[in-house]
Amino acid sequence: DTGVSQDPRHKITKRGQNVTFRCDPISEHNRLYWYRQTLGQGPEFLTYFQNEAQLEKSRLLSDRFSAERPKGSFSTLEIQRTEQGDSAMYLCASSFSTDQPQHFGDGTRLSIL
Amino acid sequence: QKEVEQDPGPLSVPEGAIVSLNCTYSNSAFQYFMWYRQYSRKGPELLMYTYSSGNKEDGRFTAQVDKSSKYISLFIRDSQPSDSATYLCAMSAGGNNRLAFGKGNQVVVIP
């Protein structure tokens, strides 16, 4: 049973660089979510896909952030011109339908030098 | 006021004790309620999932939802050192199923 897979697990980069994270959801799940978690806080919703369509974006998702799910399978989250405040754990989750729970990957930890 | 309130204070209990955790919320549209367990440097792992009010039991874990009071609880019986983790409550209104989380409770079970 393969769960949600995220890559890389840890990314260290200099301020101002661009970074891209990948998420592979559970295979039959058509809904995919991105969340951000900072130390001592619960995850915060960033964006949501149903198949390849991005249906909702949080106010937290500034114009430096972009997410894609080109074929309705894996998704990428890109952050351009990274800032210190972007340091966080970026979590991906997937679910089969609205009334089914979301299952999370182990996240990508982003550290900005 | 945050949508979901969870007192983040660390909780230390002796092995075998009952752990009691709770969250309150303000959005009356929430109808799906979850508890996740998160170990250090790992993603949240689903423990309990309930719809609307009522109780649900799974092994040593019991989840309770009281929609009239906007209050949910998680009880862990016969706690084990392996239960030491952060416990996050989460809820959604359905639809896009965006989850709103509490801050999490760090639980330490002392052998």
- Reported residue count of chain A is 113
Do the Cβ atoms of B4 and A42 come within 8 Å? yes
User: Read out DSSP for A89-104?
Assistant: EEEEEEESSTTS--EE
- In this complex, do B4 and A35 lie within 8 Å of one another by their Cβ atoms? no
Nearest CA in chain A to B44: A104
> pLDDT digits over A60-96, tens only?
889 999 999 998 899 999 999 999 999 999 999 999 9
| Confidence band for A2, pLDDT divided at 50, 70 and 90 | confident
pLDDT at A71: 86
**CA–CA gap between residue B25 and residue B27 (Å, rounded):** 6
| Residue A49 β-bridge partners | A32, A54
At residue A16, φ and ψ (nearest 5 deg) are: 100, -15
- Looking at residue B9, its pLDDT comes to 79
A109's tokens: 């930890």
Q: Could you tell me which residues of chain B have a Cβ less than 8 Å from any Cβ in chain A?
A: 4, 6, 8, 32, 34, 36, 41-46, 49, 51, 88, 90, 94-104
Q: Using an 8 Å CB-CB cutoff, list chain A residues near B94.
A: 98-99
Rounded Cα gap, residues B104 and B90, in angstroms = 10
Residues A88/A71, Cβ–Cβ less than 8 Å? no
Task: Give the Cα separation of A22 and A25 in Å (integer).
Answer: 10
pLDDT in tens, B61-101: 999 999 999 999 999 999 999 999 999 999 999 777 799 99
Q: Which residues pair with A91 in a beta bridge?
A: A35
Mean pLDDT computed over every residue of chain B: 94
For residues B7-35, give the mean pLDDT. Answer: 94
User: Is the pLDDT assigned to residue A1 strictly greater than 70?
Assistant: no
Which strand (E) or helix (H) includes residue A51?
Answer: none
Q: What is the pLDDT of residue A60?
A: 84
Confidence at B23, pLDDT banded by 50, 70, 90: very high
The predicted pLDDT at position A26 comes to 95
Taking residues B6-12, report their average pLDDT: 87
